[in-house]
Chains A and B, each alone.
Chain A
Amino acid sequence: NAGVTQTPKFQVLKTGQSMTLQCAQDMNHEYMSWYRQDPGMGLRLIHYSVGAGITDQGEVPNGYNVSRSTTEDFPLRLLSAAPSQTSVYFCASMGRTKGFLEQYFGPGTRLTVT
């Protein structure tokens, strides 16, 4: 299994540009989520999905859109990038292992908005 994969690893955008961060998992997990990590802030949940066709907002959803057309993929879209969205973005999926929920993270996408 490849686990959770993310592309790209690095991205530089100009203010106002849009882009999509890709995330895929091959573990057949129903639950997937996107976090952003900023210095001194830990991880903050942006959006999550409990299954194909179902998404919901997390702690910091503004400026981001998601969709979940398949179990495997959960892309994150930045509609109009702002410098405040400069961050490291992690995608994660969650499944039950031996009866408890375990979360698997992708390697991250480092985004800089100038």
Chain B
Amino acid sequence: SQQGEEDPQALSIQEGENATMNCSYKTSINNLQWYRQNSGRGLVHLILIRSNEREKHSGRLRVTLDTSKKSSSLLITASRAADTASYFCATDARGVYSGAGSYQLTFGKGTKLSVIP
């Protein structure tokens, strides 16, 4: 089963608008990471937020984390057509798999963002 679940599954907005994607997870985490994947390409790491952090910024990206609700949100401000991609959250699995230690990242199914010029 998926640890992280993104919501919505698909999002379509006009260029210049803000895009918000949410991620929910089930178990306690060390950190939560967001990745972007352009169509047909590999994943690119965007931002990481630690479990003791509540908000983090990186350029036009703003990530929040609510560990009490086991949820995170990714906000992209002033979206551009180039932001069109799928966005995934990933959480460390904390030993879900035998011998994993703190090395595991479990990915959600992703949110497909379309930014219309």
Task: Return chain A residues, CB-CB under 8 Å to B33.
Answer: 103
Binds B, one of A12-20, A50-58, A75-83: A50-58
Specify which of A35, A50, A100 is in contact with B99 (CB 8 Å cutoff): A50
Q: Which partner residue on chain B sits nearest A54 by CB separation?
A: B99
For chain B, the bracket of interface size reads 20 to 34
Taken together as a complex, chains A and B put the C-alpha atoms of A100 and B48 apart, in Å, by 8
Specify which of A42, A100, A104, A108 is in contact with B107 (CB 8 Å cutoff): A42
CB neighbors of A among B86-117 (8 A): 88, 90, 92, 97-110
Asked whether B43 is an interface residue with its Cβ less than 8 Å from the other chain, the reply is yes
Specify which of A35, A56, A101 is in contact with B92 (CB 8 Å cutoff): A101
Task: Return chain B residues, CB-CB under 8 Å to A94.
Answer: 103, 105
Task: Return chain A residues, CB-CB under 8 Å to B88.
Answer: 42-43
Given contacts A45-B106, A50-B103, A103-B105, contact A59 B97 (CB under 8 A): yes
For chain A, the bracket of interface size reads 20 to 34
Q: Which partner residue on chain B sits nearest A91 by CB separation?
A: B42
Contact flags (1/0) for B1-40 with A, using CB distance below 8 Å?
0100000000000000000000000000001010000001
Asked whether A90 is an interface residue with its Cβ less than 8 Å from the other chain, the reply is yes
Specify which of B2, B31, B42 is in contact with A42 (CB 8 Å cutoff): B2
Task: Return chain A residues, CB-CB under 8 Å to B43.
Answer: 43, 90, 92, 103, 105
Taken together as a complex, chains A and B put the C-alpha atoms of A92 and B45 apart, in Å, by 12
Asked whether A74 is an interface residue with its Cβ less than 8 Å from the other chain, the reply is no
Task: Return chain B residues, CB-CB under 8 Å to A44.
Answer: 107
- Assess whether B109 is in contact with A41, with CB atoms less than 8 Å apart: yes
Specify which of A42, A43, A56 is in contact with B100 (CB 8 Å cutoff): A56
- Distance (Å) between the CB of B18 and the closest chain A CB? 24
